[in-house]
């Protein structure tokens, strides 16, 4: 059955891979990111493969922007019943160097963004009597040096997910979280630059520490999201799936 999905932070990386996978699964997909023009490549890949997709520019931490974005998606693609809250940013620093803005920016995009998007989309899910919410957490939720803000936000996504599962389950809506480990994306490239390590060396070192002996790819996360968004996953809710190549980050 064709449904309408929204994937935030979908201009690149995990979000882009997830948007393309959901389109391949037969859904119409709204590719949402801060810069609408940056979504063009993802949308082009979807349409080239025979799918339906639109680019939507929106700041997920802005309530009015979220309201307008979801309304536009409903008008152009149909009422959205699948939501993947993937939008995220890094503002890494050690605690004593972390600024108020570093903290607030990360909380606003990750937690406030997921809250605003979920609150807006749940109306359509409840009306339909069916829905899927997938929130992106991280192995950093377990703690990670230099990421007090990011770790707190990603741990918060897990609690948020479990509460959505409890509140929305009676309406046929499931909510689950994916906690990626080391994934090769622009964000991990930023981390390598921050600590002054060449990206290839950074990836190779990370792979040695992972039981399956390789770094993760965005498509690994997209596959997990595809399952959570499926009809077959209707009895799976409130769960956190660590997609990290092993039991530890």
User: Could you report the per-residue pLDDT of 212-233, keeping only the tens digit for each?
Assistant: 999 999 999 999 999 999 999 9
Q: Tell whether 197 and 134 lie within a shared domain.
A: no
Conformational region of residue 90, where left means phi above 0, alpha means psi within -120 to 50, and beta covers everything else: beta
Q: Around Cβ 208, how many Cβ atoms within 10 Å?
A: 9
Question: Is 248 part of a structural domain of the chain?
Answer: no
pLDDT of residue 56: 98
Does 242 participate in catalysis according to the annotation? no
**Three-state secondary structure call for residue 147:** strand
Mean pLDDT of 100-107: 98
Q: Tell whether 133 and 202 lie within a shared domain.
A: no
Residues 144-173: b if buried by 16+ CB within 10 A, e if exposed: bebbbbbbbbbbbbbebbbebbeebeeeeb
Question: Is 173 part of a structural domain of the chain?
Answer: yes
Segments forming the whole domain that contains residue 95? 4-181+217-243
Tokens of 91: 């503002």
**Three-state secondary structure call for residue 220:** helix
Q: Tell whether 131 and 206 lie within a shared domain.
A: no
- Nearest 5°: the CA angle 244, 246, 249 is 60
Q: Which residue among the candidates 150, 160, 182, 242 is catalytic per the annotation?
A: 150
What is the DSSP annotation of 80-111?
Answer: EEEEEE-------B-GGG--HHHHHHHHIIII
Give the separation between CA 237 and CA 241, rounded to whole angstroms: 11
Question: Is 186 part of a structural domain of the chain?
Answer: yes
- Please name which of 241, 237, 17, 13 lies closest in space to residue 139, comparing C-alpha atoms: 241
The answer, as to whether pTM is greater than 0.95, is yes
pLDDT of residue 249: 56
Q: Tell whether 99 and 211 lie within a shared domain.
A: no
Q: Tell whether 112 and 195 lie within a shared domain.
A: no
Helices 13-24 and 218-228 cross at an angle (nearest 10°) of: 50
Residues 191 and 90 sit within 8 Å (Cβ to Cβ): yes
Question: Is 249 part of a structural domain of the chain?
Answer: no
Helices 113-128 and 148-168 cross at an angle (nearest 10°) of: 20
Q: Tell whether 199 and 165 lie within a shared domain.
A: no
Q: Count how many domains the chain has.
A: 2
Q: Tell whether 50 and 11 lie within a shared domain.
A: yes
Question: Is 84 part of a structural domain of the chain?
Answer: yes
Q: Tell whether 108 and 168 lie within a shared domain.
A: yes
Q: Tell whether 137 and 207 lie within a shared domain.
A: no
Question: Is 233 part of a structural domain of the chain?
Answer: yes
pLDDT in tens, 104-163: 999 999 999 999 999 999 999 999 999 999 999 999 999 999 999 999 999 999 999 999
Cα separation values, 162 from 17, 39, 89, 153, 191, Å:
25, 30, 22, 15, 29
Question: Is 58 part of a structural domain of the chain?
Answer: yes
């Amino acid at each position: 059955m064709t449904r309408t999905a929204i994937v935030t932070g979908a201009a690149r990386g995990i979000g882009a891979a997830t948007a393309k996978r959901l389109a391949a699964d037969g859904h119409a997909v709204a590719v949402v990111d801060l810069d609408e023009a940056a979504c063009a490549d993802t949308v082009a890949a979807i349409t080239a493969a025979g799918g339906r997709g639109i680019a939507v520019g929106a700041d997920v931490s802005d309530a009015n922007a979220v309201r307008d974005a979801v309304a536009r998606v409903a008008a152009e693609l149909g009422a959205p019943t699948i939501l993947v809250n993937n939008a995220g940013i890094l503002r890494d620093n050690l605690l004593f160097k972390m600024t108020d803005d570093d903290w607030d920016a990360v909380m606003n995009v990750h937690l406030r963004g997921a809250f605003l998007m979920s609150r807006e989309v749940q109306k359509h899910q409840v009306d339909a009597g069916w829905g899927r919410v997938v929130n992106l957490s991280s192995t950093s939720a377990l703690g990670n040096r230099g990421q007090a803000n990011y770790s707190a936000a990603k741990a918060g996504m897990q609690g948020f997910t479990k509460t959505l599962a409890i509140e929305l389950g009676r309406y046929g809506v499931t909510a689950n979280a994916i906690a990626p480990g080391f994934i090769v994306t622009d964000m991990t490239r930023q981390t390598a630059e921050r600590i002054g390590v060449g990206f290839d060396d950074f990836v190779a070192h990370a792979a040695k520490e992972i039981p399956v002996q390789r770094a993760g790819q965005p498509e690994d996360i997209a596959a997990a999201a595809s399952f959570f968004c499926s009809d077959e996953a209707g009895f799976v809710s409130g769960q956190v799936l660590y997609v990290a190549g092993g039991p530890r980050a």
